[in-house]
Amino acid sequence: MAQRVVVTGLGLVTPVGNDVESTWSALLAGRSGAAPITKFDAAALQVRFACEVKNFDPSEYMDRKEAKRYDAFVQFALAAAHQAVTQAGLEGRFPSPERTGVVIGSGIGGMRTFEDQCSIYLTKGPDRVSPFFVPMFIPDIAAGLVSIRYGTKGPNFATVSACASSAHAIGESYTMIRDGKADAMITGGAEAAITGLAIAGFQNMRALSTRNDEPETASRPFDRDRDGFVLGDGAGVVILESLEHAERRGATILGEVIGYGASGDAFHMTSPAPEGEGAQRAMRAALADAGVDPAGVGYINAHGTSTEQGDIAETEAVKAVFGEHARRLVFGSTKSMTGHLLGAAGALEFAVSLMVTRTGKIPPTINQFNADPACDLDSAPNRMVERGVDVAISNSFGFGGHNATIAVRGWR
């Protein structure tokens, strides 16, 4: 018999807050996390701003010697995992470690480590490359280290599907619990790709906004004058459990995962399929898995990256799937504030979708100055909306044509 899957813990490290409470408050207030880059000298780049994580102190979650051995994306993952595990009341006492797993996605992994060690190799020679180089940068190491920290011995791996990585991580974790292959999962995503090399690559493919003089207004999903996405760093981790497992230990339940859909575009390396055909199939699959009629959805956290093709294709996909109801729900993009966390975006936006069902408050899509006629759905432009939402879905789409949609329901 299929198991019901519930959420019992959330943890976030984001460009607008270093925990769930501060992140949620910033999003409801419409606060942008974009600012000039501080982590390195960006003077030579065309794009000199991003959504960095601010005032993060890894020593709150690990000792300084340990932190030096971890890339920033791992530090963020461990911090978010600690928050989630603590909220779930599971710190140090997972009831069934052999049936508790970890799946944490990352689109890029330890980019800063890779860049730094490559420079050392080229300037100082191979003998000076750190022996920690490989375990510091590989994308799966976050999942491995979280598993080691909490002694979980169930399914343990990473998902790497570009900007859909952590949505796939949560979706696959949900599936394993639903199908009885695990009782609990620590799952989500982490990314720390704000480096000179990564920005140079994205800027040269003309994917990034170039509004260096006004970074706070640079991320403009669905706005006619959008000119690309803003790169962001951070992590999101959630605790999923079977309902039976959660109730047996008296856990506080935050919400329920009710559906997951995944698809491939089979179309283009970076561009979405026409009319968001792949996105349509992911959303339909998630709704079918959830047993929910499209009219039952009150909020969609859009992938909404602030790119011309992507925003239009996703809008067309939502219209195709939801019909007339598309104009009655809120279809908003929190990337207008957080920027695009790449492989961590899906986990952050899953948490946002869950919070919407818990609070009845929907964050705005900021920087809406001139509406794009092709993106004519209600994105809660520049305003927080208060509305009861029973079911919300979160969309994540990655380079390579990877699509994932997760449906959540508020806990009753």
Token pair 């898995």: residue? 289
Helix (H, G, I), strand (E, B) or coil at 63: coil
R_g (Cα) of the chain, nearest Å: 20
Residue 377: inside a domain: yes
Return the bridge partners of 239, or none: 9, 186
> What is the widest separation between alpha-carbon atoms in the chain?
63
At 364, the pLDDT band (50, 70, 90 cuts) reads very high
Q: Are residues 221 and 274 located together in one domain of the fold? A: no
Write down the pLDDT at residue 272: 86
Average pLDDT over residues 108-131: 97
| Local confidence band at 354 (pLDDT 50, 70, 90 cut-offs) | very high
Same domain assignment for residues 215 and 294: no
* Domain limit, last residue, from 227, 248, 269: 248
The string of pLDDT tens digits covering residues 38-78 is 999 999 999 999 999 999 999 999 999 999 999 999 999 99
Q: In a 10 Å sphere around its CB, with 0-12 CB exposed, 13-18 middle and 19+ buried, how is residue 55 labelled?
A: exposed
- Residues 192, 297: one domain? no
Residue 135 confidence (pLDDT): 94
pTM of full prediction above 0.95: yes
Phi–psi pair at 49, nearest 5 degrees? -140, 160
* Of 82, 163, 168, 245, catalytic: 163
Task: Please tell me whether residues 233 and 126 are part of one structural domain.
Answer: yes
Question: How much is the pLDDT for 65?
Answer: 92
Query: What are the pLDDT digits (tens) for 293-322?
Result: 999 999 999 999 999 999 999 999 999 999
Any catalytic annotation for residue 245?
no
Residue 309 lies in a domain: yes
Instruction: Give the whole-number percent of the chain exceeding pLDDT 90.
Output: 97
- CA 11/CA 79 separation, integer angstroms: 8
Please compute, for residue 31, the number of CA atoms within 13 A of its CA located in the half-sphere on the CB side.
13
Cα angle, residue 209 at apex, residues 205 and 211 outer, rounded to 5°: 135
Residue 104 domain-assigned (yes or no) = yes
pLDDT of residue 158: 98
163 is catalytic: yes
Phi and psi at residue 15, to the nearest 5°: -65, -10
Q: Are 401 and 320 in the same domain?
A: yes
Q: How confident is the model at residue 270 (pLDDT cuts 50, 70, 90)?
A: confident
Residues 239, 240, 243, CA angle at the centre, nearest 5°?
130
Tens digits of residue pLDDT in 71-98: 999 999 999 999 999 999 998 688 999 9
pLDDT at 137: 95
Q: Do residues 244 and 283 both lie within one domain?
A: no
Q: How many CB atoms lie within 10 A of CB 159?
A: 28
Do 157 and 289 lie in a common domain? Answer: no
In residues, how long is the chain?
A: 412
Residues spanned by the domain of 350: 261-410
C-alpha 139/C-alpha 109 separation (Å) is 4
**Domain-embedded: residue 255:** no
How many CB atoms are closer than 10 A to CB 370? 10
Tell me, yes or no, whether 301 lies in a domain: yes
Total domains in the fold of the chain: 2
Same domain, 201 and 302: no
3-state secondary structure at position 49? strand
Residue 206's pLDDT is 95
Name the residue among 377, 219, 217, 203 with its Cα closest to residue 306: 219
Which residue in the list 82, 303, 375, 402 is annotated as catalytic?
303
Average pLDDT over residues 188-212: 97
In the predicted structure, residue 101 carries a pLDDT above the cut 90: yes
CA–chain centroid gap for 46, Å, is: 26
Q: Is 325 a catalytic residue?
A: no
Domain end call among 195, 216, 248: 248
Catalytic residue among 82, 168, 340, 402: 340
> Quick check: is 256 in a domain?
no
| 104 close to 237: Cβ distance less than 8 angstroms | yes
Q: Which helix (H) or strand (E) holds 77?
A: helix 72-87
CATH of the domain at 404: 3.40.47.10
Q: What average pLDDT score do residues 371-379 get?
A: 96
Name beta bridge partners: 202. Answer: none
- The three-state secondary structure class of 348 is helix
Side chain identity at residue 161, one-letter code = S
For the chain, what is the mean pLDDT? Answer: 97
The predicted-structure confidence for 213-254, as pLDDT tens digits, reads as follows 999 999 999 999 999 999 999 999 999 999 999 999 999 999
Q: Give percent of the chain with pLDDT exceeding 70.
A: 100
Query: Is 57 inside a domain boundary?
Result: yes
Integer CA distances (angstroms), 344 to 141, 314, 333, in order: 15, 19, 15
Indicate if 308 and 234 belong to the same structural domain: no
Residues 220, 333 share a domain: no
CA separation for the pair 140, 160 (Å, rounded): 9
pLDDT at 1: 81
Residue finishing a domain among 248, 283, 309: 248
Residue 324's pLDDT is what? Answer: 97
Domain presence at residue 253: no
- Are residue 27 and residue 174 in the same domain, yes or no? yes
* Alpha carbons within 13 A on the beta-carbon side of 238: 33
* Residue 232 shares a structural domain with residue 107: yes
